[in-house]
Amino acid sequence: MVPAEIIEFLSVLIYPGFIFIFTLAFFYEWVDRKFVARLQNRYGPLYAGPGGILQPFADFIKLLAKEDITPRAADKTTFRVTPILMLALALSTLFFIPTAYTTAVSWFEGDLIFVTFLVSILVLITLIAAWSSTSTFSTVGGIRVVLQMLGFEIPMTIVMVGPAIVSKTLSITNIALWQYTTGHYFAIYQPIGLIVLIICLLAEIKKAPFDIPEAESELAAGWITEFSGRKLALIRLTTDVELILAGALVTALFLGGPTGPFGIPSVIFFLIKTTGVILVISNLRALFARFRIDQMLGGFWKYLVPLALLQIILVTLGVG
Amino acid sequence: MDEERVIIPIGPQHPALKEPMNFMLKVEGEKVLEAIPNLGYNHRGIEKAATVRTYIQNLYLAERICGICSIAHVQCYAQGVEKLLEMEIPPRAQYVRLILSELNRLHSHLLWVGVAAHEIGFDTLFMYLWRDREIVMDTLELITGNRVSYGFTMLGGVRRDISPDMAARVKKEMKTVRDRTQYYKKMSSNERSILKRTQGVGILKPQDALALCACGPTLRASNIKWDVRREDPYLAYNEIPFNVVTSDGCDVLSRMIVHYDEVIEATNIIEYALDHMPSGSFREKVTRRIPAGEVVSRVEAPRGEDIHYIKSNGTDKPERFKVRAPTLGNIPAVCKMLSDSYIADVPIILAGIDPCFSCTDRVTFVKGEMGKGWIWTQEELRRYANRWYQQR
């Protein structure tokens, strides 16, 4: 009999822990890149593996082998630590959201609030990373990251509370399970919330039309400009993990999480649902021009915050 | 308030600029108060090079002034030399050159709208436009055998004829390009996120456009009906019906619309020209020595009015060759557009005049072996020139 500690350790390390998440991260980056490429009438990744499926992994390995430059003016320690910290934060956030099993790796009553907290910290770490590299492009990019957070954080938090009110629990795992057991899927009963959450998550993971902090034609690579080699590899992996995070969060809160009928393993349902969400996100990414930072903030406060409040009012009135 | 004013340098190396050019922006917060341009980062000495080459060799040099409006520059040069020779090229050659000029306009305009879409972060439109530009490039390759520098225009005509097979193929492609462009135009003038980034951005009022000598699509987007093809017809432009497209928005959006409309107009011109091509020879022999004299020739390049000045002393090499690329005419206008704009709009405003800074540079100041450069105002340059001539 294998001791319970070892099983737990393996579950963090392999499944549904690090190895599983990393594999999934590379896979979803490929899905995103390929889908956007096809929408834009390009081929996208093509050569590494069937249909270029190994391309994100190949990019990662390539970046690991590249020269790692630290600018002379940079705050060395912070500059070195922030990429690792970002990846760690993104991963630990994902541990509170059910992925492979119907329950998350770790969960407690109130982890919904903890996850929103971790998501904001992730954004703040981005600012620190940008600030520590001291280049003009990075600094402006970092400022834009935080400005953007002022826009999306409040509506996002508000709509995430919607499912919690109805299911009377503050645990993401329980919200997902509650939807499955009662058959009351919030995607149907709180559609406004779902839409607002997806738009906010687009801004959170900094994808077009909210790729303002890394606006290529204005800021080179924005807040990532000075990062190279291993640090850039970690940052890119973090972006991929954040993509899963977005997919998993929407899946858990509005689509019933990794649950489904017919005794099929729950991970299959998780994959289907998150892939669906990621395809929606990729589709939006190909559809719009980039907004200006003031237009983005104005739009979020003028439209998304009232919409989010409307959803909560509807929920408290018993609709949803 | 004065201490809040910061000067932000845009360029010479900047992600918004594809070519080296420097703008010093005086800003107050997010607002740009004034923009001061500095040219001279990519001086290639083309004018000097032209005086040590023969007129025929200069055809290839003129073509390489710009990689995109190559047909326009070589047409302008050849037209000037033919004027010195006091010759008319055969009518068929005029039509072939006209078709090429319009194909050149097509691919340049499609390229620009793509770049503009990229500047506002709409990469899907960028990819689609550049895919369709490929059709035009293939057509050019079909006719001339090359994709970028065509080596097609000769003194006294063109190198090859357009066969009926080619004409049929070109006409088919033009229909595709026109249909797609009409769709993009409809989409661009309705899509909210494009409108938000382009409407009311980079305003250039008609009177300013005139006062600052803007040219090309930039001028026409400020609702001024001016086109060299109409005002001073060259080639066979007076035999072909076409509209001079204008738009009254005076902003980046109307510049986009003007480009779309000119693409549609160009496809119509090409189809009409292919249908009405006169028969006959497409080339005439010319002498190698060009009679003495001087000439100014101008054509409507895709980016605006292109002016070449050629002075001949009766040998087979020009004594002086001067080029004014259209971008130079638009630089004062773009500085006007930049003042009173937001920093975030700078890339799209700069891209809005369809700049080609590397084609523009004619003068640079470098001190001998040290290789050190400096900047002179026009007044200082004038004073220096006067002094130099007095001492001579």
B212 touches chain A (CB under 8 A): no
Question: Residue B368 pLDDT > 70, yes or no?
Answer: no
Exposure class string for A29-61: b at 16+ Cβ within 10 A, else e: bbbbbbbbbebbeeebbeeeeeebebbbbebbe
Q: Name which of B30, B119, B124 is nearest A39 (Cβ-Cβ).
A: B124
Going by the DSSP 8-state scheme, the letter that residue B359 receives in this structure is H
Q: What are B50's two structure tokens?
A: 């032209």
B184 inside 8 A of chain A by CB: no
Q: Do residue B347 and residue A41 have CB atoms under 8 angstroms apart?
A: no
Contact B173, B135 (CB under 8 A): yes
How many other β-carbons are positioned within 10 Å of the β-carbon of residue B232? 14
How many Å lie between the alpha carbon of B249 and the closest alpha carbon of chain A?
20
A292 neighbourhood in chain B, CB within 8 Å: 196-197, 342, 344-345
CA separation for the pair B380, B308 (Å, rounded): 25
Chain B contacts of A215, Cβ < 8 Å? 121
pLDDT at A60: 92
Residue B1 has pLDDT above 50, yes or no: no
Is residue B366 within a helix (H) or strand (E), and if so which, with residue range?
strand B365-367
Whether residue A224 lies within 8 A of chain B, CB to CB, comes out as no
Nearest chain A Cα to B345, which residue? A292
Cis peptide, bond prior to residue B278, ω within 30 of zero: no
Put simply, the answer to whether B122 touches A42 (Cβ < 8 Å) is: no
- How far apart, in whole angstroms, are the C-alpha atoms of residue B312 and residue B290? 7
On the question of pLDDT at B257 being above 70, the answer is yes
CA distance A165 to chain B (A): 34
Eight-state DSSP code of residue B283: B
Q: Count CB-CB contacts under 10 A for residue B279.
A: 8
Residue B296 has pLDDT above 80, yes or no: yes
Is the minimum CB–CB distance between A219 and chain B shorter than 8 Å? yes
Q: Is B26 helix (H, G, I), strand (E, B) or coil?
A: strand
CA R_g for chain B: 22
Of A208, A219, A292, which is closest to B197 when you measure between CB atoms? A292
pLDDT > 50? residue B86:
yes
CB of A39 within 8 Å of a chain B CB? The answer is yes
Task: Tell me whether B138 touches chain A (CB under 8 Å).
Answer: no
**CA distance linking residue B219 with residue B305, whole number of Å:** 10
Q: Distance (Å, rounded) from C-alpha B196 to C-alpha B199?
A: 6
pLDDT at residue B370, rounded to an integer: 62
Under 8 Å CB-to-CB from A10, ≥6 apart: which residues? Answer: A17
Going B235 to B239 to B240 to B245, the CA torsion angle's sign is positive
Residue A306, burial from CB neighbour count under 10 angstroms (0-12, 13-18, 19+): exposed
When pLDDT is averaged across residues B144-159 and rounded to a whole number, the result is: 87
Q: B127 to chain A: nearest residue by CA?
A: A40
Q: Which of B191, B192, B196 to mutate to test the interface with A (most CBs of A within 10 A)?
A: B196
pTM here is 0.85
> What's B3's DSSP letter?
G
Looking at the complex, report in whole angstroms how far the Cα of residue B376 sits from the nearest Cα belonging to chain A: 29
d(CA A272, CA A264): 12
Share of chain B above pLDDT 70, in %: 97
pLDDT per residue rounded down to tens, chain A (320 residues): 678 888 888 877 877 778 888 899 999 999 999 999 999 888 889 888 888 899 999 999 999 999 888 888 888 888 889 999 999 999 888 888 888 777 777 888 888 999 989 988 988 888 888 888 888 788 888 888 888 888 888 999 999 888 888 888 888 888 888 888 888 888 888 888 899 999 999 888 888 788 877 776 677 777 888 888 888 999 999 999 999 999 989 988 888 878 777 777 888 888 889 999 999 988 888 888 888 888 888 889 999 999 999 988 988 887 76
User: Which residues of chain B have a CB within 8 Å of the CB of A295?
Assistant: 196
Tell me if chain A has a CB within 8 Å of the CB of B193. Answer: yes
Chain B residues touching A143 at Cβ < 8 A: none
Residue of B nearest to A209 (CA): B121
Which domains are assigned to chain B?
2-41+360-391 (no CATH), 46-333 (1.10.645.10)
Which residues on A lie below 8 Å from B183 (Cβ)?
A: none
Q: Do the Cβ atoms of B198 and B251 come closer than 8 Å?
A: yes
Of B16, B117, B344, nearest to A293 by CB-CB distance is: B344
Phi and psi, residue A75, nearest 5°? -80, 100
pLDDT band at residue B267 using 50, 70 and 90 as cut-offs: very high
Question: Burial level of B368, CB count in 10 A (0-12/13-18/19+)?
Answer: exposed
